[in-house]
Homo-oligomer: A and B are copies of this chain.
Amino acid sequence: MTQQFKKKPEQLDYIFRPRSIAVIGATPRKGAIGREILHNLITYEFNGKIFPVNPNYSVIHSIKAYSSILDVPDAVDLAVLVVPRDHVISVVDQCGEKGVRGLVVITAGFREVGPIGLKLENQLVERLHYWGMRMIGPNCFGIINTSSKIRLDATFSKVYPTEGKIGFMSQSGGLGESILEQAREMNLGLSMFASVGNKANISGNDLLEYWKDDPDVDIILLYLENFGNPRRFTKIAREVAAIKPIVAVKSGTTSKGAAAASSHTGALAGAEVAVDALFEQTGIVRVETIEELFNVAAGLARMGVPRGNRVGVLTNGGGPGILATDSLVNLGMEMPEYSDETKAKIRPQMPPDTPINNPLDLIAGAGAEQFKTALEAAMQDDNFDTIFSMFVPLITVNQMEVADAIVDVKKRYDKPLCACFMGVSEYSQGLSLLRSNGVPATIFPEPIAKMLAQIERYRRWKERDEGALPNYDVNREAVRKIIDDALHEGNEALVGEKALDILDAYGLRIAPYEYAHSVDEAVQVAASVGYPVVVKVNTPKILHKTEFGAVKVDLRDSDEIVSAWKEMEQKVRSEVKSDEEFSVVVQKMVKGGVETVIGMTTDPAFGPLIMFGLGGIYVEVLKDVSFKINPLTHADARAMIESCKAYKLLTGFRGSEPVDLDLLAESILRVSMLVSDFHEIVELDVNPFIINPTREQTATVDARFVVKSLS
């Protein structure tokens, strides 16, 4: 055998770079999976030994077969299992005994079929641990490694991909064949492909780690249906994305996270919100469709990551140029003008007085020469990070010559270049020439625009100022006591004074308030905190106080307090059957400013999510909120604030001064710290948190927590 492990082999090397493979359940029957996998291994010339195993045959596909893996005379790195489900466990034990290091289990009928299958799968995992083996599957389509030193195709695909630098992980076996067909269609080379099936042992996370430093993998593509361990995924993906781009399709939506949490935050945070936050924070390029996945992959593989978002478009047709411009601009790309130098270079071939704009509309009937001159000038123009060359077929122009010109320019200049040969067939020779010479090319302009915009998002993420985690001086002991006391009393919902005390201990500003048990006391308190005031009924019995009419705002004198007290007392007495003494909270009304909400909810899979949004109707009607997975950096907090649709309200509106955005970010980060420090907190709402231009006028008006014992 010729291939060698690069270094001390990792465990996954025994699976993706094995020196010998046993196909257990191999069979000579055409169309059977056990035959097709063996056939693929042989046909694509696996660079090591293959041992078919099946007690019923002595030779399969011209190779000596063995009754059992234990009969194989040589060492076996990888065993591929295509045996009936109920034989899997015993075969795995034989593999363990034999000293096999890695398994790919194609066989289905485990977790995906219900309780009996799940039990079997758990047993299977136990046996793996016992023997110290790693496994891909079960219920999968197999794996591929195209490296010329390996040439491993342990799938039952009809298609063998060309060698390339892309690692592809698919959670769907059913999509396996489609994915490989599509990669070939796009002329995209793969390095490794893995259909991970039920991910009972080797997960997507393991593959990400394996591919992180793998020199054969420059780009990672993922088709995901769910996250086994999203917290680990978040951490690993962020590390890997900093080194090489990860592009992912996430399909399906889980309903788990949409549990009916009682707070606003909980109600808004479905699992999809967590998934979105995950992709945003980890720098994974999230695309909507498999088609986009391949378009972005082709862009990354063929032209890399441009230095910025400035695109120079040139075209031989006005209409196509407009289509490209619409798409690029709508997606946030910039199209600056061509430099004077470039214009001077192009001018001689343009009709006199024709303006040279971006998109640059070459003369009607422009051919290879005109394209070449214009492209060369554009590639040297510092106004652009990427050049996008569009071509519409014309009977008078030779398509192949234009494609040749584009390829020639691409080779001589070091700037990302992509192309659209509009409306030609997917099998056009021009398109094919471009693709096989490293020019991302499509038959419509929109996919190119989308691809550029998605890669630009990745660039921005990579170049972002990550910011540090916050570290404010806080009073942890005070919070520890409040939470411990509450849990000791069996009290999981903290409202009013206790909730505000927790926030106070973490340095959030609180609007001055006091309890009042008589109308006279209410008037006294109001005088001491200062008019105008807000008066709220003090009872946990009324959940939605505003709707009930248990909140009176902007009271300006003692008369207004007296009439508010009377009205509310009567309403509570008649509608809330309670023997509690009637009392109120009198709180200084925070003047002006913008109502915001800082919240937190716990996703069962993703853990704590911090929420920020504009308060009141903004959060409730417009859902103008942003979520991120805790913990947050300074950059995260600022990004959350800036992502609000109503952000303009914070930066000064209709003559109002801008609010203190630093204080707002700080307040969000103090909440983030609180959540990091106390895992007992499973839900919280700081609502409203009124932010103003000055620290003094800024205050928390109300808050609530849900805490749970950690044990």
Contact = CB atoms under 8 A, between A and B. Distances in A.
Nearest to A353: B114
A575 to B, nearest CB: 13
A645 interface: yes
Interface string A98-113: 0000000000100001
A9 interface: no
Contacts of A425: 181, 185, 426
A395 B31 contact: yes
Interface stretch (A60-68, A376-384, A546-554, A672-680): A546-554
A185 to B, nearest CB: 6
A393 B174 CA distance: 8
A89 to B, nearest CB: 21
A289 B173 CA distance: 32
B320 A175 contact: yes
Interface string A304-331: 0000000000001111101101100000
Contact of A289 (B175, B288, B290, B444): B444
A446 B181 contact: no
Interface of A: 31, 33, 36, 108, 113-114, 156-158, 170-175, 177-182, 185, 223, 225, 249, 251-253, 288-291, 316-320, 322-323, 325-326, 351, 353-354, 364, 392-396, 422-427, 443-444, 446, 544, 546-549, 556, 617, 620-622, 645-646, 648-649, 653-655
Q: How many copies does the complex hold?
A: 2
- Sorted nearest first, the 7 A-B pairs with minimum C-beta distance are A178-B423, A174-B317, A172-B319, A547-B655, A175-B319, A252-B322, A181-B423
Contacts of A649: 617, 621
A395 B323 contact: no
A426 B426 contact: yes
Given A317-B174, A318-B172, A653-B617, A395 B158 contact: yes
Contacts of A181: 393, 423-425
A547 B317 contact: no
A654 B423 contact: no
Contacts of A645: 621-622
A289 B544 contact: no
A655 to B, nearest CB: 3
Contact of A395 (B113, B156, B423): B156
Contact of A251 (B182, B326, B423): B326
A534 to B, nearest CB: 15
A183 B549 CA distance: 64
Which secondary structure characterizes the binding site on chain A? loop
23 contacts: A31-B395, A33-B396, A113-B351, A113-B354, A172-B318, A172-B319, A174-B319, A174-B320, A174-B392, A175-B392, A175-B422, A175-B423, A177-B393, A177-B394, A177-B423, A178-B423, A182-B423, A182-B443, A252-B326, A425-B426, A544-B654, A621-B645, A622-B646
Contacts of A223: 319
Contacts of A291: 444, 446
A185 B253 CA distance: 35
A30 to B, nearest CB: 10
Contacts of A158: 393, 395
B546 A654 contact: yes
Contacts of A171: 319
A157 B396 CA distance: 10
A177 B393 CA distance: 6
Nearest to A225: B322
A178 B171 CA distance: 37
Given A364-B108, A444-B289, A617-B646, A320 B178 contact: yes
Given A36-B395, A426-B426, A547-B655, 10 more contacts: A31-B395, A173-B319, A175-B317, A177-B423, A178-B392, A288-B446, A291-B444, A427-B427, A622-B645, A622-B646
A446 B447 CA distance: 14
A653 B622 CA distance: 12
A290 B423 contact: yes
B319 A251 contact: yes
Contact of A253 (B182, B326, B354): B326
Contacts of A172: 317-320, 322
A483 to B, nearest CB: 31
A444 B181 CA distance: 12
Nearest to A172: B319
Contacts of A177: 392-395, 423
Contacts of A31: 395-396
Contacts of A288: 446
Given A621-B648, A646-B621, A318 B174 contact: yes
Contacts of A620: 653-654
